Amino acid sequence: DTEVTQTPKHLVMGMTNKKSLKCEQHMGHRAMYWYKQKAKKPPELMFVYSYEKLSINESVPSRFSPECPNSSLLNLHLHALQPEDSALYLCASSQETTSGIYEQFFGPGTRLTVL
Amino acid sequence: DAKTTQPNSMESNEEEPVHLPCNHSTISGTDYIHWYRQLPSQGPEYVIHGLTSNVNNRMASLAIAEDRKSSTLILHRATLRDAAVYYCILSQAGTALIFGKGTTLSVSS
């Protein structure tokens, strides 16, 4: 199984809502990532988890809160988002991040619209 | 992070070879060259990576210049399914991928 799954596929939320994005992999990978992608732009790195610990936060606003409950799951909790946060949110995983070069496997993304 | 420069777009005909260039004049000795592609409505997918020597896999070939300041991704026979955005990325071992603008490849039948 070389798949990264993301739920939901689409999400529409108001600026006062709280919602969560979920990402799951069963490849035994110990590194997981969140990227944000606006239309016609490249993916932008948001967070990196290595061995379930947050290792990189690319100065992301606190209205985005990542969580890695175990080595297979990665969540992104959303609260008080702005319309400009509307984007495709991509999750990825790789074997690890501490050394070596490992292929990153990406999920299909969650298309988020903030009204 | 070391930067890459790619053409915004390229066009190809089906079943012809495609050479996608990437310039990375500030590459360091420990930077690996990665290529990922993103098909429409999908997440990016790995294509190939290399350090100094040319590399081949089932999807493509990677030709790296001797001075490593540029590289070329070669698709040997383009198909309609190869229409995608192709990203050339430099990264060191153990670091996350930082995407640049990429090249949008169009393939015509």
For residues A4-10, give the mean pLDDT.
Answer: 97
Residue A47 has pLDDT above 80, yes or no: yes
Q: Which residues of A touch B87 (CB under 8 A)?
A: 42
Confidence bin at A22 (pLDDT 50/70/90): very high
* pLDDT at res. B13: 97
Euclidean distance between CA atoms B84 and B63, whole angstroms: 20
CB contact under 8 A, B98 and A90: no
* pLDDT at res. A96: 81
* pLDDT at res. B80: 97
Q: Are A62 and A80 in contact (CB under 8 A)?
A: no
Euclidean distance between CA atoms B91 and B107, whole angstroms: 29
- Residue A62: CB partners within 8 Å, gap ≥ 6? none
Residue B95 has pLDDT above 90, yes or no: no
* pLDDT at res. A82: 96
Residue A98 has pLDDT above 60, yes or no: yes
Half-sphere exposure of B91 (CA within 13 A, CB side): 22
* pLDDT at res. A52: 94
For residues A62-87, give the mean pLDDT.
Answer: 96
Q: Which two tokens stand for residue A2?
A: 């070389």
Q: Return phi, psi of residue B2, to 5°.
A: -65, 145
For residues B10-32, give the mean pLDDT.
Answer: 96
Residue A109 forms contact with B (CB below 8 Å): yes
Q: Which residues of A touch B42 (CB under 8 A)?
A: 108-109
Residue B1 has pLDDT above 80, yes or no: no
Closest Cα of chain A to B44: distance in Å? 6
Residue B27 has pLDDT above 90, yes or no: yes
Residue B2 has pLDDT above 70, yes or no: no
Q: Which two tokens stand for residue A50?
A: 């290595």
- Residue B67: CB partners within 8 Å, gap ≥ 6? none
Spacing of C-alpha B78 from chain mean position: 14
Q: Which residues of B touch A97 (CB under 8 A)?
A: 94-96
CB contact under 8 A, A99 and B46: no
Whole-number Cα distances in Å, A18 to A12, A63, A64, B18, B88 = 11, 10, 10, 46, 36
Q: How many other CB atoms sit within 10 Å of the CB of residue A8?
A: 13
Of B28-37, B62-71, B89-98, least confident by mean pLDDT is B89-98
Residue A18 has pLDDT above 90, yes or no: yes
Euclidean distance between CA atoms A92 and A105, whole angstroms: 5
Residue A2 has pLDDT above 80, yes or no: no
Euclidean distance between CA atoms A47 and A71, whole angstroms: 15
* pLDDT at res. B93: 82
